[in-house]
Amino acid sequence: MPSLFQTLDCLSLPVSDLDGALDFYSAQIGHQLIWRTDKATGLRLPESNAELVLRTDDRPMETDLAVESVPRAIEQFTHAGLPKDVQRRAHEAYRRFLTDPVHPAARFKPVQGAPGVRSARVGLGYCALATRDGEVVI
């Protein structure tokens, strides 16, 4: 079986001082600012579509990994027994996206190599995948 994960999509770090962390990672280290809210900011990781997200909430560090084949990833996660509560949170995330696609809580991103498919974090280590025609696939 080929490897499921292909590359880093997002590294999300908790910080106590968003302005200080933004200054450090942008002005001192050289990462380009992509977006910012009151509680989080996204910085570009060079030569990739990946982001470094700095946030002031209480969640621990998170790492999101990209996959080459969304259908294969769905099949592998389903076969491995993706918990029902995670599936429920994924559907809730998709409903938020339909209501307000640009809301930071919905942060759906295009899935590389899968036209019309977007992903969003819905919990530690899990993603919701929204496909064409409004169907949600976990």
Domains, the chain, ranges and CATH?
1-68 (3.10.180.10), 69-138 (no CATH)
Which residue is associated with the tokens 């080459």? 68
- Give pTM, 2 decimals: 0.58
10 versus 137: which is more confidently predicted?
10
Q: Which helix H or strand E contains 29, and what residues bound it?
A: none
Residue 117: which of 130, 135, 99 has the closest Cα?
130
pLDDT, residue 136, reads 46
Name the band, by pLDDT with cuts 50, 70 and 90, for residue 24: very high
